[in-house]
């Protein structure tokens, strides 16, 4: 049952890596929305209950900084902006799915 302490320390540090990328109330809901095909600021805000523009803006920048999404400016008139997932971001889908699964069954208690 007991495990090597040094391995536990490694695992804790891996968890903290993950948390440093997806921590907070909003990043995973944003990613889920984007997995579902939503790519515009306005649409994301409409789709995610109670998120404010200020928070959405900050979170998108964080996600961009961690290379999970890219911000694309279309040179139209007026300018339109699209947020797209990077290939790397799809590696998070198992985690997101587990979150959904657990939250669903937890609610049922």
Site for a copy of itself in 46-75 (CB under 8 A): 47-49
Question: Rounded distance, CA 40 to CA 44, Å?
Answer: 6
DSSP state of 78: S
**Distances from the Cα of 43 to the Cα of 17, 56, 85, angstroms:** 29, 11, 15
Stretch that binds a copy of itself, among 18-26, 52-60, 69-77, 79-87 (CB under 8 A): 18-26
* Residue 7 vs 79, nearer CB to a copy of itself: 7
Could you list the residues that contact a copy of itself (CB under 8 A)? Answer: 1-3, 5, 8-9, 11-19, 21, 23-25, 28-29, 32-33, 36-37, 47-49, 88, 91-92, 94-96, 98-107, 109
């Amino acid at each position: 049952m007991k495990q090597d302490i040094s391995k536990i320390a490694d695992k804790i540090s891996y968890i903290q890596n993950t948390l440093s990328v997806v921590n907070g109330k909003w990043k995973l809901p944003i990613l889920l929305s984007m997995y579902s095909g939503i790519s515009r600021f306005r649409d994301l805000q409409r789709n995610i209950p109670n998120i404010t523009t200020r928070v959405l803006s900050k979170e998108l920048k964080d996600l961009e900084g961690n290379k999970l999404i890219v911000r694309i400016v279309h040179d139209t008139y007026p300018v339109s902006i699209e947020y797209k997932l990077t290939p790397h971001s799809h590696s998070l889908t198992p985690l997101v799915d587990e979150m959904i699964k657990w939250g669903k069954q937890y609610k049922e208690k």
